[in-house]
Amino acid sequence: MLLPYLKVLNGCKEKGIPVRIHTGKFYVYDEKLTHYMYDEPTRQRFGAVAKKHDPDGVFAPAAWLKLFTN
């Protein structure tokens, strides 16, 4: 049985619509704040894990990858 959210995610992926599951939290896309809160080794680990396990950017949007890999 295909779970409803997977059906939506797969449908969006097929149509090239960038989506991610909402976790009930929000993130401020601010480079200075991100680099203050997380040191460079931590940001690099996050980027490596996201690129390996989430290549389509479903859970880690492009804005996060930009912040964490610069």
Answer yes or no: are the C-beta atoms of 5 and 21 closer than 8 Å.
Answer: yes
Which sequence spans correspond to the domains of the chain? 21-69
Confidence category of residue 33, pLDDT binned at 50, 70, 90: confident
Distance of CA 44 to the CA centre of its chain: 14
- Mean of all residue pLDDT scores within the chain: 77
Q: What is the largest CA-CA distance in the chain?
A: 44
> What pTM does this model have?
0.53
Residue 5: what pLDDT?
67
Give the tens place of pLDDT for each residue, 47-63: 888 888 888 877 877 77
pLDDT band for 28, please (50, 70, 90 cuts). low
Q: Please, which residues have CB within 8 angstroms of residue 18's CB and are 6 or more apart in sequence?
A: 12, 57, 61, 62
Q: Is 39 exposed, middle or buried (0-12, 13-18, 19+ CB in 10 A)?
A: exposed
